[in-house]
Amino acid sequence: MFDPSGNDPISPALQDLLKLFGQELATVKFPDMDRGVLEEAAERVKEKAEAVARAQAALDAARQSLHESQEALLQKGQRALSYARIFAEDDAELSMKLEAISLPRPMRKAPRAEGSSPVLEAPSAQGEENSPRRRGRPPKARTSAPLFAEGASPEVIAAVEAESANGTLHTA
């Protein structure tokens, strides 16, 4: 059968047939079959497709509402688990029971485009390209210069440092 996921639930071939019965075959009548019967059946198909679209929208809204409720419960559960772990610090048996509970991380909402429904995604563990940017200054680049310059011994460097501490500049 024709996939009703497109805009029109009536297949192109049936649309062509309806068109023929609306134009060239408009006056032709077969037993239990004519233009009126076909148009009536096509109208029922369109009504049913609209009913399916409304039901799908209601289902999507109900799923979104369920997901939001589950997320709210998960966040409250994580908070309750944190409180319970602090409370049970002196009770080894209760602490062990609480440590056995592992709640999943909450989902975070992705930014949504104007007019679109929110898209939820799990926290990214795919790499740095999807992870949030780090805040603050980038670390200084470290040079991989040798500890001692060529020809300079530790004694010469110590003498230079001592002289520069006195305010004089040593030229080697």
pLDDT exceeds cutoff 60 at 101: yes
Alpha-carbon distance of 104 to 77, in angstroms, equals 10
Tell me the one-letter amino acid at 152.
A
Q: Model confidence over 133-157: pLDDT tens digits?
A: 777 777 777 665 555 556 666 676 6
Average pLDDT, the chain: 79
Domain boundaries, the chain: 12-114
Under the banding of pLDDT at 50, 70 and 90, the label for residue 124 is very low
What's the average model confidence in pLDDT over 57-79?
95
Distance CA 81, CA 88 (A): 10
Q: Hey, which of 101-105, 117-121, 148-152 has the most confident mean pLDDT?
A: 101-105
